[in-house]
Structure 1
Amino acid sequence: MPRSKKRRGAQQRAVQPFSDEDVSIETLSHCSSFSDSASLTEEGGDGAEDGALVDYEYKLKGFIDSTVDKSAKTRQGALDGLKTAMATKILYEFITDRRMTMTDSIERCLKKGKGEEQAAAASLACLLCLQLGSGIESEEVFKTLKPVFKSILNDGTANIQARQACATSLGVCSLVAEDDILDVYSTMDCFESLFSRSYSRPDGTRATFSPQVTLLHQHALQAWALLLTICPSAQLQSLLHRHLSRLPSLLECEDVNMRIAAGETVALLFELARDLDSEFEYEGLDPLCTKLSSLATDCNKHRAKNDKRKQRSVFRDVLRAVEEGDFQTETIRFGTERMSIDSWVRKRTYEAFRGFVGSGMNYHLQANEFIRNVFRLGPPVMIDSATLKAMKIPRFERHLYNTAAFKARTKARNKVRDKRVDIGEF
């Protein structure tokens, strides 16, 4: 359809990624009650709100049109703009009628694009499914894109960055939109065929891979672990028997992130095994705990300080999970609500979603019905700005509380650090 020069010019300007000002517009979702409508009222009431919404949607339409542009740079900018929008806002009503157009654009970018463009398209596909939630709309999107994901993932000549992105997106999209558990098993087999290449061989040797290929195996392992959380008990037993004895070999990998991913997956497997059988016992528990303990206290000089610090923190939790079945509960605060991450299943699911929505995770926990259903948070809680302001703790009270907490924490740490303290007291 022909467009005027003025319209084409506006569209070309729109392919730039969203600015912070764009992201801060709170009137762009069907859950607009989460926004601070008071500021809009002051600036012109409903007219200002409607105008902001129209401008924003026009910009989004420009991004969608630009995903099929001849310029790779323009396509990349459009994909990044749509990713930012979907990560920070609920756009269900806007994208529902445009989902197949967007799906076709994503498929084209995956097939025709290179490297970063393919990775951006894969991430956008995942965000699209998260926006649509579990239902016929996301199933149609995933049915179209799943063969493309698997083709790129299994193609050894494809761009490694694209393969990594496809592994992660395939895992999350399967969790959201896959309607057949047998297809979930097939996808898990696809992941296994990748990360199992990093296992030690029967003679104790292991294959050597480049850092990028190791990262691909790590993404495949984490995607596999995510789908493990939705497997029925019969399949879990089979997977436990097949992998629990081999996964610990990944703890010897040179890459710290692969070691951490392997350790967290081991902890997840133990948690699931104990859920199936409270009397579960693992034959190789003692050597496994010895290995985990050494990683939790690793002080090798040839490793970077940040890597050692991160590794020790994770493996202390993994060791407690394997030895005692314990989990260090974490509380996530968003709006006026709280959510506890109290299991390795929840932790893996939360981190998978956060990997795509990033800083928008708290907003999605408030407003995204699918994510709220996954974490059993119930329907979105609508609270206006006046109520939020009334519930906010005064600044002086927060200062007093933080000061007291800091003093108590310092005294406790000093007591533990004092070498004269009898260890038996703890």
Structure 2
Amino acid sequence: MPRSKRGKRGSGKPGNKNGLKGESAASDDELMSDVLSHYSSASESTTVLEDGSGEQVDEQTAQEETEDKLKQCIDNLMDKSAKTRLAALESLRLAFSSRVLYDFLTERRLTVSDCLERSLKKGSSEEQAAAATVFALLCIQLGGGDEAEEGFKMLRPILTAILMDNTAGIAARQSCARALGMCCYVSAAEDGEDLIKSLALLESVFMSSYPNREGTLPTPKPGSSGLHSAALQAWSLLVTLCPASKLTLLLSFHLPKLQACLESSDVNYRIAVGETIALLVELGRDIDEDFEVDDSDGLCECLKSLATDGNKHRAKNDRRKQRSIFREVLHYIENEDFTEEKIRFGVEGVYIDSWMRRRIYDAFKEILESGVRHHLQFNPLLRDIFGLGAPLILDATIKANKISRFEKHFKALSPPHSRTKQRNKVRDKRADVM
């Protein structure tokens, strides 16, 4: 996801009282580069690597070197320099999104959580935004077990406080909204209390974009549309876990309000609203095949207008993106037909053949970025969510202990938590091996 440049950063000018920051910045960049080079070269299916001199280095040595770099990044999260902490957060973000580090992080999860808590409490808006994203990645790495649940309960109050703080930076609030949705989705407890609280918090954010009693949309404040989009998308992710009784209440209240928000002046918020409407209608039809939207004719007319919008005052790319999305939404509302997509990774693939699966996949893609395919291939959590089974081990040279480690982690996800039962909705036989 695009990272905001707002918020204060530590000064690196050589003439200030902390004149060593210029040297520190250079070492930070080198450390990040080293971490990334290790992660790009140490593949899951190779047992030997070559260093710059042409000598072979075994996988164990490469793993140890990489972990040493990551340990240094974790240590740097406690540095006094804001620039050093930001560089460490960026290094961890890239590493967590590109690899599966369950064993490494299980032993250090409390240390990392403590450091992220400090950044969220005392950092600038930019540091808070980065820390929230790294925390979401940490929950994905820990796989939705007790460790992730423990971390979520620890940091949820801080994420909530930043999200609800009107004086906090927009970038930080957006990142906290995404992290709150993802971490709750991954680690919500069986009793559903975390789910209900998180839904209510996210609702309180994007509902400020709803029309007033006279039916007029409020004038958005600078940056508020991006925050409303992030909160709405996080909320819609959590809606996929709701039982039918809760869904019925949500549908009756939110669908009419969201329909009015299709007139929003912000294209990205309009698109988020349109996709959420399609998701809610799909969930409603899952509950009752005869489910109908109130004023469906008015909704379809509005969708047709957006799907054919040729307003020259809008940017060309915005018009193209809007028309594409709303054609899909309209087609689904009218014909219950979804344009499916196949995501390929390794020798496998998974079908995105519903609005629910798309929302879930897009949420992980937004956090993991280009690493989403690697995690689909190797992360037991994502494989469990999309019904892919245990990670495939296709290379005979991979050591037996690595296979047993994957199996052990996958089995750890087996207890029938309520969230796992809800995720059965997105499992089907559309995953395959090519």
Q: Which amino acid aligns with 1:140?
A: E
Partners of 2:233 and 2:194 in 1: how far apart?
Answer: 18
3-state SS of the aligned residue for 1:339? strand
Matched, 1:235 2:246: yes
2:166 corresponds in structure 1 to 156
CA contact (8 A) 2:31 2:69 kept: no
CA contact (8 A) 1:38 1:385 kept: no
State the Cα distance separating 1:36 from its structure 2 match: 3.5
Give the 3 Å change call, closer, same or farther, for CA 217–320 of structure 1 in structure 2. same
3-state SS of the aligned residue for 1:340? strand
State the Cα distance separating 1:39 from its structure 2 match: 5.1
Q: Which amino acid aligns with 1:374?
A: I
| Deviations 1:371-399, CA, capped at 9 Å, x for gaps | 11000011001112999xxxxxxxxxxxx
| Deviations 1:23-51, CA, capped at 9 Å, x for gaps | 31225xxxx3xx33465599655x43222
1:78 corresponds in structure 2 to 88
State the Cα distance separating 1:211 from its structure 2 match: 3.8
Partners of 2:40 and 2:227 in 1: how far apart?
Answer: 34
State the Cα distance separating 1:134 from its structure 2 match: 1.3
State the Cα distance separating 1:17 from its structure 2 match: 2.3
Q: Which amino acid aligns with 1:143?
A: K
1:341 corresponds in structure 2 to 352
Matched, 1:92 2:102: yes
1:193 corresponds in structure 2 to 204
2:40 corresponds in structure 1 to 24
State the Cα distance separating 1:206 from its structure 2 match: 1.8
| Deviations 1:277-310, CA, capped at 9 Å, x for gaps | 0011223100100000010010011111000000
1:5 corresponds in structure 2 to none
Q: Which amino acid aligns with 1:283?
A: D
| Deviations 1:170-227, CA, capped at 9 Å, x for gaps | 0000000110312211111111111111111221212112341111111110010000
Q: What RMSD, in angstroms, separates the aligned Cα atoms of the two structures? A: 2.2
1:354 corresponds in structure 2 to 365
TM-score, length-scaled by structure 2: 0.82
Q: After the TM superposition, which of the residue ranges 278-287 and 361-370 deviates more from structure 2?
A: 278-287
CA contact (8 A) 1:40 1:49 kept: no
Q: What is the percent sequence identity of the aligned residues?
A: 48
Q: Which amino acid aligns with 2:386?
A: F
3-state SS of the aligned residue for 1:331? strand
1:254 corresponds in structure 2 to 265
Q: Which amino acid aligns with 1:158?
A: A
Partners of 1:93 and 1:328 in 2: how far apart?
Answer: 38
2:118 corresponds in structure 1 to 108
Q: Which amino acid aligns with 2:160?
A: K
Give the 3 Å change call, closer, same or farther, for CA 138–193 of structure 1 in structure 2. same
Q: How many residues in Structure 1 have an aligned counterpart in Structure 2?
A: 373
| Deviations 1:63-84, CA, capped at 9 Å, x for gaps | 0000010000000000110111
Matched, 1:331 2:365: no
The equivalent position to 1:129 in structure 2, one of 139, 149, 153, is 139
3-state SS of the aligned residue for 2:129? helix
Q: Which amino acid aligns with 1:74?
A: T
Q: How does 1:358-369 map to 2 (within 5 A)?
A: 358-369=369-380
Q: After the TM superposition, which of the residue ranges 11-20 and 251-260 deviates more from structure 2?
A: 11-20
| Uncovered stretches (5+) of structure 1, i.e. residues with no partner | 1-7, 388-426
State the Cα distance separating 1:360 from its structure 2 match: 0.7
3-state SS of the aligned residue for 2:389? coil
The equivalent position to 1:62 in structure 2, one of 34, 58, 72, is 72
1:168 corresponds in structure 2 to 178
Q: Which amino acid aligns with 2:303?
A: L
1:213 corresponds in structure 2 to 224
The equivalent position to 1:299 in structure 2, one of 310, 325, 337, is 310
State the Cα distance separating 1:12 from its structure 2 match: 4.9
1:370 corresponds in structure 2 to 381
Matched, 1:275 2:291: no
CA contact (8 A) 1:92 1:132 kept: yes
| Deviations 1:143-179, CA, capped at 9 Å, x for gaps | 1100000011111111221111000000000000110
| Uncovered stretches (5+) of structure 2, i.e. residues with no partner | 1-22, 399-434
Q: After the TM superposition, which of the residue ranges 209-218 and 370-379 deviates more from structure 2?
A: 209-218
| Deviations 1:323-377, CA, capped at 9 Å, x for gaps | 1111100000000001100000000000100111111111000000001100001
Partners of 1:124 and 1:118 in 2: how far apart?
Answer: 10
Partners of 2:233 and 2:274 in 1: how far apart?
Answer: 11
Q: Displaced runs of 4+ in structure 1, greater than 4 A?
A: 11-15, 38-45
State the Cα distance separating 1:250 from its structure 2 match: 1.2
Partners of 2:382 and 2:210 in 1: how far apart?
Answer: 33
3-state SS of the aligned residue for 1:253? coil
Q: After the TM superposition, which of the residue ranges 213-222 and 258-267 deviates more from structure 2?
A: 213-222
State the Cα distance separating 1:53 from its structure 2 match: 1.4
Q: Which amino acid aligns with 2:152?
A: F
